[in-house]
Structure formats: C-alpha cells, structure tokens
Amino acid sequence: MQDPNSPRELPDSSINSIDPMPQYNPLPPPAQPPTNSMAIISLVCSILGLVGFLPVIGSIIGIITGNKAKTEIMNSAGTQSGDQLARGGVIVGWIGLALWALLFLCICGFFALGIGAAIFESR
C-alpha cells in the first residue's frame, strides 16, 4: 500500500501530454482621465508671474484659474485630473504675489528714505 502523504507518480505517457502554460494577454492599464486645461494654465501663469515674464498679472491669473480648476475637477466626478497642478498653481501664484508685494514695499521704502534724506540734507 502506498503512503497517502507521498506524491503520486505520473505515468510516462502523461508527461508528454501536459500542455504548456496557457498564454494570456495582460489587460491594458486603466485609462487616465484627461488633465484639466485650467490647471495647466494656472501653473504656467503662476511660474511666469514668479520669474517676471508676467509680473503680478501672471500670479493673479494663476490663483484665479487654479481655484476654478480645482472646483471643476471636484465637480467632474473623476472624469478630469490635475488637482495637484491646480494646487501647485495656486501656491506658486500666492508666493509670486507675496514676493512682488515685498519688492514693491522695498522700492517704496527706498524712495521714502531717499526723499527723507533729501529733505534732511536741505535744512
């Protein structure tokens, strides 16, 4: 009697009749929803506003379009992507706007110091 825990031996004829592993076609990756164009515009305008090609206006456009894009993406129920781009556009837009405001205040301060020095010198 054969031990029930030992593996069974296959007859020689059955070894040749074993089919090779079945071939399968992998499923394509799921389709990515299209990126919201307002999100792209937001990031591009914010970067252009930050580096000075569209000073102040680029940052303001980036903030407005970024917030609009986030709303559109949220209301699209998954048919649009680009939330990170829109968020990045808004953040870079605020940073650019703050830096331009700081530069404006510094320039005003230097003018005020210059005018004050000129008035003080004239006395």
Residue 8 placed within a domain: no
Element (H, E) at 93: helix 83-122
Residue 53: DSSP 8-state:
S
Q: What is the value of pTM for the model shown? A: 0.72
Tokens of 79: 């048919």
pLDDT in 10s for each residue of the chain, 123 residues: 556 676 666 555 555 556 567 777 888 888 899 999 999 999 999 999 999 999 999 999 999 999 999 999 999 999 999 999 999 999 999 999 999 999 999 999 999 998 888 888 876
Structural domain boundaries, residue 50: 34-122
Instruction: State how many domains the chain has.
Output: 1
Residue 47 placed within a domain: yes
Residue 12 placed within a domain: no
**Residues 114, 62: Cα–Cα separation, whole Å:** 35
The contacts of residue 15 (CB under 8 Å, 6+ apart) are none
Residue 6 placed within a domain: no
Burial zone of 76 (CB within 10 Å; 0-12 exposed, 13-18 middle, 19+ buried): middle
